[in-house]
A and B are shown apart, each in its own frame.
Chain A
Amino acid sequence: MTDTKRAPEETGLPDAKRAHIDDVEKCFHKGLLDQTSQDELKTQIAESGPYKHGVIPQLIDDELLRSVRKEIMEGVHFTRKETDIYKVFQTGDLANLSGLSEEELGTLPSLFKLRNAMYSREFRHFMSYITGAGHLSGSKQDMSINVYQKSCHLLNHDDVIGTRRISYILYLPDPDEPWNPRWGGALRLFPTIRPNVPASDWTVSIPPAWNQMALFKIQPGLSFHDVEEVYVDKPRMSISGWFHIPDVGEEGYIEGEKEETEALSSLKQLTSKSLREHDFPKRTPGQVPEDEFAHLKEGPKDDDDLFLSDDDVKYLSKYLNPHLLTIKTVKQLNDLFCTNSQLEIKDFLNSEYVGVLKKTIDAEDSRPPKEMPQVSEEIVLPWKLARPPHKARYMYLDGSEEADKEPEVGEEEVTVRPDENGGFEYSETILSGLKDTDKAATSKVSEVAALFKSSALRRWISRISSLALKSENIIARRFRPGFDFTLATAQDESDIALEATLCLTPTKGWEDGEYGGYELCMAVDEDADDDPAVYRGAKAKEAGEGEGDEEDEDEDEDDPVLLTSQASWNTLNIFVRDKGILKFVKYVSKNAPGSRWDISAEWQVEYVGDDEEEEDEHEE
């Protein structure tokens, strides 16, 4: 490892080598590479939690880093990229400085110097020593420049990909305007309930600061973190990247280590059953009673059959827009739905009912943000928290008064019998734990959820969709600003499923999508190399590709987005979901005017009518 400084004639090193080491040292903050400094950092990291990480307040020579920042500001082009998991401005290639063109590289001498210094032998030894991570590759230089502007964020993940060994972030905010933690942009670390299952709340928050480096050893199943949203119009620039395990021919190369490390990554990627035990809410569906299903399967007698009994109409009239209960409208909806496989119905609930509903949700939603639950412990039954946060986070009601229970290691997954699915009728005891406005809103929202569990509404849904509902999963959800989201998941249980969301967001201003909170469905192109959930960003040319590739891209420029519905009031979206369609609710910005509220419904279905007809229908 690097020794404390000795006079050149004492090192026994050739002059050229000594000069090189001096050059490298000059790139870093004075004294950083000294043994004392290293030992202090080593201790800091060893004693850190929730997993091993370090913070180096001053990493680089200040003048060099200022020069780097200036080069970037003046010479680098950024592209906005947005997926379910992040929104960030990135350079060139998605991940790598090597993605920059020759011309750009020539205009960035300081950045090059920085990169060479960071991947120098000296600094890699330094990083190995303080983290105890083992040898690091000098040839695999994996770094990128990112800018988080207002509303940018990166949701929970663990960085376990390929051969990564250490993750680092070097911060370059404005050096002359100290970053205020209230502006957001912090790196937040999450403990785990068990390996590969992060806890809902972070325990360490590291705000950005000029020339500060945050780093951690990549620990499979443990190193979960996110980047807090930036709340203000101030760019949070950073250079982030990874050190990888040594490659063939490099110091510290171990045969087979690469494959072993990659296997850990791919193993974790598999959605194992044991990890799903920790997913909440449970997706165990409640079965529709057999006789009811049989009736739904038969379908209406003819086109003019409303399919609803007088009692059904009476019940539904209390809630639904009366126009939706006329045969004329129902036929029209059915026709549109069968043609387009989806519908958006505004003014779904009638104005009298919805007026009261809006007042109660509004009263709860307009309480000051600090009165909203900030950590999982503050969420009071019957509300529960969706988790783990590398898949989803939002508040929900599932109709049950029982708290979600994390299974012990080795315990079998708790399944909910269909008759145990709650009916959304909460006892006074449970509701008394809520504040008045919360209680009123919870009661009213539960009422709407109960509507979705009614046989009358099932018949209506069946009538307009030409689908018989076999089983259901109904929850009410609240996505809090600055906290909540779902990541893209596929529907893989059956060829088709029917899904609906009744959005009950009382606030306005969501239309342009900048606050997030929209529900999006997209088709997965399994052949594409890109992240399948990348759906927003300038179509920048891929590094290293010729011009011909752009033309090909134009030809097959299918927009993967099938459906986007912004947060809105009293709007029902219903659609048929094929296998492989990804769906998610975009992270709700802390600056959003309020929470996104909705009722989410999923049904397993079969086509109405004779099954033999199904084969004829699907012939093309």
Chain B
Amino acid sequence: MAKRPLGLNKANKSKKKKLDSAEKAEKAVAKEISPENDESAEPAPALTLDADEEDDMGQLESLYKNWTSSERDSPRILHGVVHECDSLLQKAKGEGLPARFHEIYAASLLDLAEFADKKKPVKKKKVKSDDVAPETSDMFVDAALERVETGLEQYPEDAGLLFVKSRALKQDIDEKMSAVSKEERKETAKKMISQLNKILEVFKLAQKHASTVTPAQLDVVEELIELSGALESVVKQSDISETTLVACEKFYNEILASEKDENTVKKAHRGVGTCKMIVADSLLDLLDDDDEDNDDTVELAKKNLKAAIEHFQKSETDEDGEFMVTLAETMIQYGNLFETESDDQKKWYGEAVKRLRQAQRLGVGKYDEMILELEDD
């Protein structure tokens, strides 16, 4: 009746004999099954369309949701979204499409830019979205900007469109900086500086009209801070990032004062903490460069690091191992500013070790030597 299993050793030997003469070389010894997954062959992405077939926007929303809830590691679904948008455009002949349509379309074009080839440093060809299909990343960003402006013409106060615009403007700077030649980098960077505050203004306007701000939408602000630091290093002008930093920190505090969503609040705390940490870093750099001890600088650095830690602690979660490492590093920096082997230093090293251990438990890196060093009395 039923087949009977051999012992593992016998089964392996038997399989080896079969492999010698078989055409397929199958070497698997272990057969895995995860019962909660479909055990059949790799399926194509399941495009679940929950909406009524007559409801075009509903279908578009559903498709877009498939994308946002997926792993986002393949542009296949995105192409489907853009194709659907084009169909709707054709159907509506440019009239009566809601703000959300333009928002989804523009956001999808920006996401597609991530998968596209980078443009080579040649003269740029302006692309209209309904003209030539975008090929390179900058073309997708241009198309997204155009789409968002089309939407804003009809819906100038739509928060969703404004958020996407801020994102598109930031990506536009990235594209310009990566496309330009080495000789032109500095000049281009100078021009981009004025864009930074514009982006923040657009974002603030979006927030003003939005009922709530999502953590994902706050990503743009975080990226602005990084971008300002990058531009500063190109232009060799020290106040760029400071100006942006101050503006961003102020903005985060406004979010903290007004937002109720727990995740958004955590993100904003993280944002403030990042701003404080960057200030502290620049102060610590001064300490390194300066041969004489400067108590004021040390105290100011301590103050900023402490504030950074407080904000970071308010945004900690049990599952974010990478952030635990960031927090641990901040605590170590703070601990380093106290007297060697003082209680304060031990306290902060201890807190850092707890987080490094937890990060390790989550599989984020190996920190055993750092832990040993911190625990070494």
Q: Is the CB of A344 within 8 A of B30?
A: yes
A558–B7 CA distance with the chains assembled, in angstroms? 17
B interface footprint on A225-267 (CB within 8 Å = 1, 0 otherwise): 0000001110000000000000000000000000000000000
A335–B5 CA distance with the chains assembled, in angstroms? 9
Given contacts A336-B31, A563-B29, A341 and B361 within 8 Å (CB-CB) = no
B354 / chain A contacts, CB cutoff of 8 Å: 368
Distance between B291 CB and nearest chain A CB, rounded to angstroms: 29
Is A272 an interface position by the 8 A CB rule? no
A593–B365 CA distance with the chains assembled, in angstroms? 10
Is B8 an interface position by the 8 A CB rule? yes
Interface centre among B3, B11, B35, B366 (most CB of A within 10 A): B35
Distance between B18 CB and nearest chain A CB, rounded to angstroms: 11
Is B237 an interface position by the 8 A CB rule? no
Is A182 an interface position by the 8 A CB rule? yes
Q: Is the CB of B31 within 8 A of A344?
A: yes
Distance between B38 CB and nearest chain A CB, rounded to angstroms: 10
Neighbour of A341 across the interface among B11, B33, B36, B368, CB < 8 A: B11
Q: Is the CB of A324 within 8 A of B35?
A: yes
Q: Is the CB of B358 within 8 A of A562?
A: no
Chain A interface residue count, Cβ-Cβ cutoff 8 angstroms: 68
A231–B376 CA distance with the chains assembled, in angstroms? 13
Q: Is the CB of A347 within 8 A of B36?
A: yes
A609–B5 CA distance with the chains assembled, in angstroms? 13
Q: Is the CB of A563 within 8 A of B33?
A: no
Q: Is the CB of A338 within 8 A of B5?
A: yes
Q: Is the CB of A466 within 8 A of B2?
A: yes
A507–B319 CA distance with the chains assembled, in angstroms? 11
Neighbour of B357 across the interface among A339, A366, A590, A608, CB < 8 A: A366
Interface centre among B8, B16, B360 (most CB of A within 10 A): B8
Given contacts A341-B11, A562-B12, A329 and B35 within 8 Å (CB-CB) = yes
Interface of chain A residues 587 through 620 with chain B (CB within 8 A):
590-591, 593-594, 607-609, 613-614, 617-618, 620
B358 / chain A contacts, CB cutoff of 8 Å: 366
Which label, helix, strand, loop or mixed, suits the secondary structure of the A interface? mixed
Is B90 an interface position by the 8 A CB rule? no
A339 / chain B contacts, CB cutoff of 8 Å: 3, 5
- Segment of A47-55, A187-195, A572-580 in the binding face: A572-580
A interface footprint on B1-24 (CB within 8 Å = 1, 0 otherwise): 111111111111010100000000
B interface footprint on A323-335 (CB within 8 Å = 1, 0 otherwise): 1100001001111
Q: Is the CB of B30 within 8 A of A342?
A: yes
Q: Is the CB of A507 within 8 A of B5?
A: no
Q: Is the CB of A578 within 8 A of B361?
A: no
Q: Is the CB of A578 within 8 A of B29?
A: no
Residue of A nearest to B375 (CB): A182
Given contacts A182-B376, A609-B1, A581 and B33 within 8 Å (CB-CB) = no
B interface footprint on A488-526 (CB within 8 Å = 1, 0 otherwise): 000000011000000000111100000000000101000
Neighbour of A347 across the interface among B1, B11, B12, B34, CB < 8 A: B34
A318 / chain B contacts, CB cutoff of 8 Å: none
Residue of A nearest to B12 (CB): A562
A interface footprint on B329-363 (CB within 8 Å = 1, 0 otherwise): 00000000000000000000000001001101111
B376 / chain A contacts, CB cutoff of 8 Å: 180, 182
Q: Is the CB of A466 within 8 A of B3?
A: yes
Neighbour of A576 across the interface among B8, B32, B360, B372, CB < 8 A: B8
Given contacts A321-B35, A324-B35, A563-B29, A593 and B8 within 8 Å (CB-CB) = no
Q: Is the CB of B360 within 8 A of A341?
A: no
Residue of A nearest to B318 (CB): A362
B10 / chain A contacts, CB cutoff of 8 Å: 341, 578
Given contacts A341-B7, A341-B11, A581-B8, A182 and B372 within 8 Å (CB-CB) = yes
Distance between A515 CB and nearest chain B CB, rounded to angstroms: 9
Distance between B359 CB and nearest chain A CB, rounded to angstroms: 9
Is A299 an interface position by the 8 A CB rule? yes
B372 / chain A contacts, CB cutoff of 8 Å: 182-183, 231-232
Distance between B148 CB and nearest chain A CB, rounded to angstroms: 40
Given contacts A334-B2, A509-B360, A342 and B31 within 8 Å (CB-CB) = yes
A579 / chain B contacts, CB cutoff of 8 Å: 7
Is B73 an interface position by the 8 A CB rule? no
A334 / chain B contacts, CB cutoff of 8 Å: 2
Is B39 an interface position by the 8 A CB rule? yes
A563–B30 CA distance with the chains assembled, in angstroms? 7
Is B369 an interface position by the 8 A CB rule? yes
Is A456 an interface position by the 8 A CB rule? no
Interface of chain A residues 1 through 25 with chain B (CB within 8 A):
none
Q: Is the CB of B9 within 8 A of A323?
A: no
B7 / chain A contacts, CB cutoff of 8 Å: 341, 495-496, 576-579, 581
Distance between A122 CB and nearest chain B CB, rounded to angstroms: 42
A521–B357 CA distance with the chains assembled, in angstroms? 31
Residue of A nearest to B350 (CB): A368
Q: Is the CB of B33 within 8 A of A466?
A: no
A580 / chain B contacts, CB cutoff of 8 Å: 9
Neighbour of B368 across the interface among A508, A576, A577, A591, CB < 8 A: A591
B interface footprint on A92-115 (CB within 8 Å = 1, 0 otherwise): 000000000000000000000000
Q: Is the CB of A323 within 8 A of B8?
A: no
Neighbour of A607 across the interface among B4, B9, B11, CB < 8 A: B4
A279–B361 CA distance with the chains assembled, in angstroms? 32
Q: Is the CB of B6 within 8 A of A341?
A: yes
Q: Is the CB of A562 within 8 A of B363?
A: no
A577–B10 CA distance with the chains assembled, in angstroms? 10
Is A426 an interface position by the 8 A CB rule? no
Distance between B332 CB and nearest chain A CB, rounded to angstroms: 18
Interface of chain A residues 296 through 336 with chain B (CB within 8 A):
299-300, 303, 321, 323-324, 329, 332-336
Q: Is the CB of B8 within 8 A of A577?
A: yes
Q: Is the CB of A609 within 8 A of B2?
A: yes
A563 / chain B contacts, CB cutoff of 8 Å: 8, 29-30
Given contacts A346-B32, A563-B29, A593-B361, A581 and B9 within 8 Å (CB-CB) = yes
Q: Is the CB of A340 within 8 A of B361?
A: no
Q: Is the CB of B33 within 8 A of A345?
A: yes
Q: Is the CB of A562 within 8 A of B9?
A: yes
Is A465 an interface position by the 8 A CB rule? yes
Q: Is the CB of A340 within 8 A of B29?
A: yes
B1 / chain A contacts, CB cutoff of 8 Å: 299, 609, 613
Residue of B nearest to A616 (CB): B4
Distance between A248 CB and nearest chain B CB, rounded to angstroms: 43
A233–B357 CA distance with the chains assembled, in angstroms? 18
Distance between A364 CB and nearest chain B CB, rounded to angstroms: 12
Is A467 an interface position by the 8 A CB rule? yes
Is A343 an interface position by the 8 A CB rule? yes
Distance between B121 CB and nearest chain A CB, rounded to angstroms: 41
Distance between A107 CB and nearest chain B CB, rounded to angstroms: 33
Is A78 an interface position by the 8 A CB rule? no
Is A119 an interface position by the 8 A CB rule? no
A344–B32 CA distance with the chains assembled, in angstroms? 5
Distance between A508 CB and nearest chain B CB, rounded to angstroms: 3
Neighbour of B3 across the interface among A182, A338, A351, A594, CB < 8 A: A338
Given contacts A366-B361, A509-B360, A345 and B3 within 8 Å (CB-CB) = no
A465 / chain B contacts, CB cutoff of 8 Å: 5
Distance between B3 CB and nearest chain A CB, rounded to angstroms: 4
Known: A340-B31, A341-B8. 6 other contacts (CB 8 A): A300-B2, A303-B2, A344-B30, A562-B9, A563-B30, A565-B30
Q: List 29 A-B contacts (CB under 8 A).
A: A182-B376, A183-B372, A232-B368, A232-B369, A233-B369, A329-B35, A337-B5, A339-B5, A340-B11, A340-B29, A341-B5, A341-B6, A341-B7, A341-B10, A344-B31, A345-B34, A346-B32, A346-B35, A347-B35, A366-B357, A467-B5, A506-B361, A509-B360, A509-B366, A565-B30, A576-B7, A576-B8, A593-B363, A607-B4
- B interface, CB within 8 angstroms of A: 1-12, 14, 16, 29-36, 39, 354, 357-358, 360-363, 366, 368-369, 372, 376
**Which 8 pairs between the two chains have the least Cβ-Cβ distance?**
A508-B363, A578-B7, A323-B35, A591-B368, A338-B3, A341-B11, A509-B363, A346-B34
